[in-house]
Amino acid sequence: MRMSRKMEHVEHALRIGQVGNQGLADIKFVHNCLPDASVDDIHLHTAIGDLDLSSPILINAMTGGADETRSINRELAVAARECGLAMAVGSQMSAIKNPEVASSYRVVRSVNPDGILIGNLGSEATVEQALRAVEMIGANALQIHLNVMQELIMPEGDRSFKGALERIADIASNVPVPVIVKEVGFGIMRESAAKLIRLPIAAIDVGGTGGTNFAAIENARRPQAYEWLNDWGNPTAIALLESLSVWPRGRVIASGGIRNGLECAKALALGASAAGIAGAALRVLQTEGTAALIDYLRRIHEELRLVMTALGAASIEELWNVPLVVSGESAEWCELRGIDIRTYARR
């Protein structure tokens, strides 16, 4: 069951594509006609907690667990290696339950022996399973995903989500690598972010709406679709503003519908230290191949350097201090939720 589900997710994700709006159009940079900067001086290095990265772009968790997914992971790992990016694998629970499929995950380490690789499990995992996931790929960090709405829409999905915080705390205290808690595309909002900051985890990945839509993907697999849930969740821009009202800059990752360098720059300027790309990278890989994926990721680096030059921000830390105006639905939302967006506009 789990093995065929992996390829169904890939196929439905490609067919449905990136859905809706991640809200970054509401975030505007203030043009600087005297940036006193040069493209050659832009540095893209960053850190997620204590994990140093040469690029703020991260290939986010997608797959593994079936034969066909082994080649996807292999090619994503080649692209990550060529572009110097961190990469997460999809949930490793299938390999923990069925060790025969572990090679579909391990392939990323054999292709990219020195790269930053991130393991992935759900919040139902035990400490022992988390240790095995880290060991399986020689992971430099471990993502724990939160996907309540996806599970609820899946007929075979989990029905109880009790005790997740305690299990995550236990994992984070016992694995030898930093733990990142991530959403799969419904958004981490302030109340949840405030609970997560009390845990011994390194970072959160806000994973908002506006990109891959797991409600739509699971509905495509259901005999009777709950289509009324297809717009559940909150956009990435709002999830970032909410999470960064509780979490410090440098410990938040942006993801959900990020596709180009300008969107990355906006997410980083809001205070994220990295931006995850999943669905858009998968589409390029599956429709145009590995060389095109490498070109696409290099182009995002170039776009990011271009935008940073225009803003006079030579590093990600400097990007955190350029003025940003939040307007439209995101501003209205923040006003109602008591999130201060004026400091972004006046810094």
Kindly list the residues in this chain that would bind ligand FMN in the complex (CB under 6 A): 9-10, 13, 18, 60-63, 90-91, 120, 143, 145, 182, 184-185, 207, 211-212, 255-258, 277-280, 282
Q: Nearest residue by C-beta to ligand FMN?
A: 211
Which residues, including other chains, have CB under 8 Å from residue 320's CB and lie 6 or more apart? Answer: 249, 268, 269, 271
* Nearest to ligand FMN of 193, 341 (CB atom): 193
**Phi then psi for 142, rounded to 5 degrees?**
-130, 125
* Nearest to ligand FMN of 235, 279 (CB atom): 279
- In the complex, the smallest distance separating the C-beta of residue 307 from ligand FMN, rounded to whole angstroms, is 19
**Phi then psi for 149, rounded to 5 degrees?**
-70, -35
Residue type at 137 in one-letter notation: I
Give the residue ranges of DSSP H helices in 161-260.
Answer: 164-174, 190-196, 214-221, 236-243
Tell me the CB-side half-sphere exposure of residue 75, using CA atoms within 13 A. Answer: 20
* Nearest to ligand FMN of 182, 190 (CB atom): 182
* Nearest to ligand FMN of 7, 306 (CB atom): 7
Listing DSSP states for 283-337 in one string gives HHHHHH-HHHHHHHHHHHHHHHHHHHHHHT--SHHHHTTS-EEE-HHHHHHHHHH
* Nearest to ligand FMN of 209, 330 (CB atom): 209
* Nearest to ligand FMN of 106, 344 (CB atom): 106
Query: Residues 102, 104, 108, CA angle at the centre, nearest 5°?
Result: 105
Ramachandran sector of residue 273 (left: φ over 0; alpha: ψ -120 to 50; beta: rest): alpha
- In the complex, the smallest distance separating the C-beta of residue 338 from ligand FMN, rounded to whole angstroms, is 27
* Nearest to ligand FMN of 1, 33 (CB atom): 1
* Nearest to ligand FMN of 145, 301 (CB atom): 145
Report whether 271 contacts 229 (CB < 8 A).
no
Nearest residue to 215 via CA among 274, 244, 256: 256
| Structure token digits, residue 181 | 């808690």
- The C-alpha atoms of residue 324 and residue 327 are separated, in whole angstroms, by 10
- In the complex, the smallest distance separating the C-beta of residue 212 from ligand FMN, rounded to whole angstroms, is 3
Q: Which letter does DSSP use for residue 30 in this model?
A: P
- In the complex, the smallest distance separating the C-beta of residue 32 from ligand FMN, rounded to whole angstroms, is 29
* Nearest to ligand FMN of 277, 322 (CB atom): 277
- In the complex, the smallest distance separating the C-beta of residue 188 from ligand FMN, rounded to whole angstroms, is 11
- In the complex, the smallest distance separating the C-beta of residue 278 from ligand FMN, rounded to whole angstroms, is 3
3-class DSSP state of 104? helix
Nearest residue to 49 via CA among 119, 138, 141: 141
